[in-house]
Structure 1
């Protein structure tokens, strides 16, 4: 019994099969390869997982729909920041250098009761300096973008294994003759430059100075660690400068609460509205492939 099967490469249609089809085969000194060609940089694996392949491309550029742009720049708000410490003074009117009492944990979350560190005994606490809330000095720019996809024609040349393969969507190709021509049976000609690397980057987004915004805090100080016996309530502290308050006589400082009275972050505008593609792709020498018919790439006859 005699049967014939034919398989077609994706670049062309399946042809009818016949017993007398002559399938071109490369010579051993033709440097034969299996060549995949497509419009995506997502290249297939070579047959048998071979890693000794050659990658190339032609007419490669940033895909036109991206207009050489990576993305639109944006800036986060300039956040308000609660006071993170006070100074407890042994002298009235904040006349001495004072001891720093940290309030950093009071902002997470705002308003919860914290133990002051260190606690201040009543005989060493006559006045207190309250630092102002602050606004972040800068806004955070958009994360660094990655370049948009490349458009063009891409190729991967895999080693010829000595037989036509149905599991790899490619043409069988050989090197051109010494005069640059392609011999009969391998007349489909392709030229690609070697793919070295995509060296494109995206310009960084930058933000201008913060504008607007209002940051106002209330600071409540307590003589106990459970924040139930309030000593001082200092309300409406703006960002202008630190202020001094007197403390009740012989009262220790052991707890605190810090909250926002107004939390309206500042805003920043991007210095450039768009992050642009910067740099180029790097290519090597041009390589020419002479390939078998773009239609039939495999056939066999079983007797």
Structure 2
């Protein structure tokens, strides 16, 4: 079969499928090595093949003669993988260690076998995987550096607006509208829903008398009213993308070729320097691993130095939608005219009336008021206060991996 060496960001799956493809019964040993031999980005075919062959030979030796899948398996004493000299003291006896690496405490149930871990600042020159553990098995991060997210300012387009014409026109029997307490008002109202066209409604005859004398001595025209619609929100500029998430710590884990048995049945064979001492290569720790974030390292295990790293982060930073408040500050003005005849041809008074104030003007005493008209002169629709556009969301690390390491190696 075509085989390639391990590499995995999601990390190091099970060996079961690989062993099955190699014709080796999985038994209880499928997690002895953590290998995935299917990544096209790596080219360690010889290493992967050698590891599988050695594992198969050892497995068949344990299973005994005639075990299924072991008919053509080599003996466990076959040559070691390339560039892996015998460890000192390996005599090949049943009681001696055959580990080509370091014998370290075995993994607790539920954890993967030991590998080598290095972590440091992304600015540091991360060491390459050492010859004893040449396969890069994991890359992760921790301590996200999150810059504040800036949102573009919000703005509001002017509202649509109309100028509502006043309908409640009236006259007073005094020269200054309702200035006098006893002033009597007579209606000269326009029709409901008036559009300003000539209207003869509520006509007042010439000389019509009220308590204070002729009813028509001053004309009152109420202020028109601005009717503003809603404003459309917009962003003053295109919203910038959230800054990229950086990390304060980078980690890499390396998997090695340390296979064989340790004299202590509770120990595991892990990568170590070629010199055969009991420490991993410089800057690396020997660690067991567990998928997900585990709160504590196993209390009964010497792997007590806990480190959690993450594959990436979920970035939900965004900006709230822009909104607009109610329109304020709108103004309009009309040209309003009153006529003595019923066809809007004989002008009595014509005035510009603003939405800011009611108009009151003196007219000839007792004059007839037979019709009226009005037209909009100017509209200022006002403005709406913008809202929204606030930063929201957060950055949360995800896809955790927990490493528990031998503390004395630091």
Measured against the shorter chain, the TM-score band is 0.3 to 0.5
Structure with greater contact order relative to length (CA < 8 Å, sep ≥ 6): 1
State the TM-score, normalizing by the size of structure 2. 0.33
Q: Which has the larger radius of gyration?
A: 2
State the TM-score, normalizing by the size of structure 1. 0.40
